[in-house]
Amino acid sequence: MPVDLVHPDRVHRVDVHHQVAVATGSRTIYLAGQVSWDVDGNLVGADDVAAQAEQAYLNVHAALEAVGATPTDLAKVVVYLVDLDETKAEQFVVGRDRAAARLGVEFQQPSTWIGVTALAAPGYLVEVDAVAVLP
């Protein structure tokens, strides 16, 4: 496996992701930020952070699958949330975990969450940017 996820002993442990990913592969995959659109470009989950997070992660999975990768190959995730607050962060985790359950995977890679005022199109509340490493 090209990515090992680590919880360092001397770094605060959080439940929603690992603090470190060690990538030893030779092929790096950069995904465009994934939002909550369906294959036809329609917004999924208007005004619903959990639904948008779920769809964004389903899109991450589909993008990875298209190049022969899986969520276990993810090394880093950056999450953008419009008007980020504690409630939206909790709803984001709910949606991410629903996607993981649907796919039978885990999304526990190191991540950074950034609050933004808007995304590229009206109505989008969540965008997930990811990097994966393959052998």
Give 43-87 pLDDT, tens digit per residue.
999 999 999 999 999 999 999 999 999 999 999 999 999 999 999
Longest dimension (CA), the chain: 46
User: Can you point out the beta strands (E) in the chain?
Assistant: 3-6, 20-23, 27-30, 74-82, 111-116, 126-134
* Domain range enclosing 46: 3-134
Beta-bridge partner residues of 113: 79
CATH number at residue 92: 3.30.1330.40
Mean confidence (pLDDT) of the chain: 91
**Average pLDDT, integer, range 86-96:** 98
**How many domains, in total, are found in the chain?**
1
Predicted model pTM: 0.86
